[in-house]
Amino acid sequence: MKNKDNWILNLFMFVGCFLTLVAVALAATGGVL
């Protein structure tokens, strides 16, 4: 269970970072356009 919880937490962190990068990319693109 401990490993499973860790895996879920890591996945959540990864998704959060990915969404943040996407948001920054969209903001940069919007600023350029």
State how far the alpha carbon of 32 is from the alpha carbons of 3, 15, 28, in Å.
43, 26, 6
pLDDT tens across the length of the chain (33 residues): 577 889 999 999 999 999 999 999 999 998 766
The number of folded domains in the chain is 1
Q: What is the pLDDT of residue 4?
A: 80
pTM above 0.85, yes or no: no
Query: What domain range is 14 assigned to?
Result: 1-33
| Strand, helix or coil for residue 30 | helix
Q: What is the pLDDT of residue 10?
A: 95
